[in-house]
Amino acid sequence: MKLRNVEFIIQESFTGIWRNGLMAFASISTIALSLGVLGAFVMAALGATHFARTQIGQFQIAVFMRGEANRSRTDDVASQIRKMTGVGSVEVRDRDQEWLDFKRQHPNIDSAGLPTNVLPYAMDVKVSDPNKLPTIASKVRVLGGVDTVIEGRETFHRVMAVAKVVSIVSVAGAIMLLVTTAFIISNAIRLTLYARRREIRIMQLVGATNRFIRLPLFIEGIVFGTAGALVAWCLLRLGSMYLAHAVERITPLLGRASSGVEPSALAVYLVITGAAIGAVGSMVSIRRFLTD
């Protein structure tokens, strides 16, 4: 195709958009709202999944040594635990500071006959892979000098189950909403083309080829999808910023929850999705008018 023809097709695409401004506005608005709803659901789903994974990552194993174990023995056990596969870090608690805190919370402890520190040495073990938490806890229990190991297994399994359900529901919901969004956008573009059916028919009568008719409309679909995606991105940015501040004032814990998607990446995903759906919707919709 010659460069002159490419320029003419692009010019015709934007001329058609300008000439049918009301229908173009309706299509872009529909695309923006549809992609906005889709983007909001995906961000909420990613936020819920990210929050669940963050909570899982905060699980740690509490290891308490036997009463006769000293600091040297505790450090030796901590060194053995650090060498285990899947262990992220091991922090030995400050026994003296814990005793001071305990006495501060219980000011009558001296009169109870416990003037010296009776707390055992303890350490907190963080794992790099939460799925290995029960396995690591089992290995720690058999180490010499270890008295009690607490990993919150029941709570961990519950949180893992909730995270799995959230992930499955998010994926299923995103797929269903994506199909619905594609259907709505396709229908919006079809209505735009239906309003121009006489123009298409006239072009056929004067000898225009199907390719010549299809390409400007194909470009229009991409423009509609891209413009709608940019509008949707602006709405999502404003909405997410407002919602984040509002939620943080109510519950700081949820206010720090994030979808993990950067604004620039969100814009790219929306534009690609909008342009792709717009292009496919135009190609599918125009086929009906070209075969009549």
Domain co-membership, 25 together with 70? no
Q: What is the DSSP string of 49-114?
A: HHHHHHHHHT-EEEEEE-TT--HHHHHHHHHHHHTSTTEEEEEE--HHHHHHHHHHH-TTTGGGT-
Do residues 119 and 90 touch, judged by C-beta distance below 8 A? no
Domain co-membership, 132 together with 36? no
Domain co-membership, 65 together with 88? yes
Other C-beta atoms closer than 10 Å to the C-beta of 257 total 18
Domain co-membership, 24 together with 91? no
Domain co-membership, 30 together with 75? no
- Greatest Cα-to-Cα distance within the chain, rounded to the nearest angstrom: 107
Domain co-membership, 106 together with 184? no
Nearest to 87 by CA among 135, 152, 51, 52: 135
Give, for 23, the enclosing helix (H) or strand (E). helix 21-57
Residue with tokens 């909420």: 44
> What SS3 class is residue 122?
strand
- The whole-number pLDDT of residue 153 equals 66
> What SS3 class is residue 260?
coil
pTM, 2 dp: 0.59
- The whole-number pLDDT of residue 154 equals 65
Q: What is the dihedral of CA 190, 191, 192, 197, to 10 degrees?
A: 90
Q: Which domain covers residue 67, as residue numbers?
A: 60-151
Domain co-membership, 77 together with 49? no
Which residue positions in the chain have pLDDT lower than 50? 3, 255
Question: Is 118 exposed, middle or buried, given 0-12, 13-18 or 19+ CB atoms closer than 10 A?
Answer: exposed
**What whole-number distance in Å separates Cα of residue 66 and Cα of residue 8?**
84
Do residues 63 and 140 touch, judged by C-beta distance below 8 A? yes
- The whole-number pLDDT of residue 191 equals 73
Phi-psi region of 207 (alpha: psi -120 to 50; beta: other; left: phi over 0): left
* Number of structural domains found in the chain: 2
Domain co-membership, 49 together with 165? yes
Last residue in a domain, options 151, 171, 192: 151
Domain co-membership, 213 together with 242? yes
Last residue in a domain, options 129, 151, 173: 151
Calculate the alpha carbon distances from 82 to 60, 92, 123, 136, 141 in Å.
14, 12, 12, 11, 14
Domain co-membership, 39 together with 180? yes
The residue type of 214 is R
Domain co-membership, 83 together with 105? yes
Last residue in a domain, options 128, 151, 174: 151
Domain co-membership, 10 together with 70? no
Give the contacts of 45 (CB within 8 A, at least 6 positions apart): 166, 169, 170, 171, 173, 174
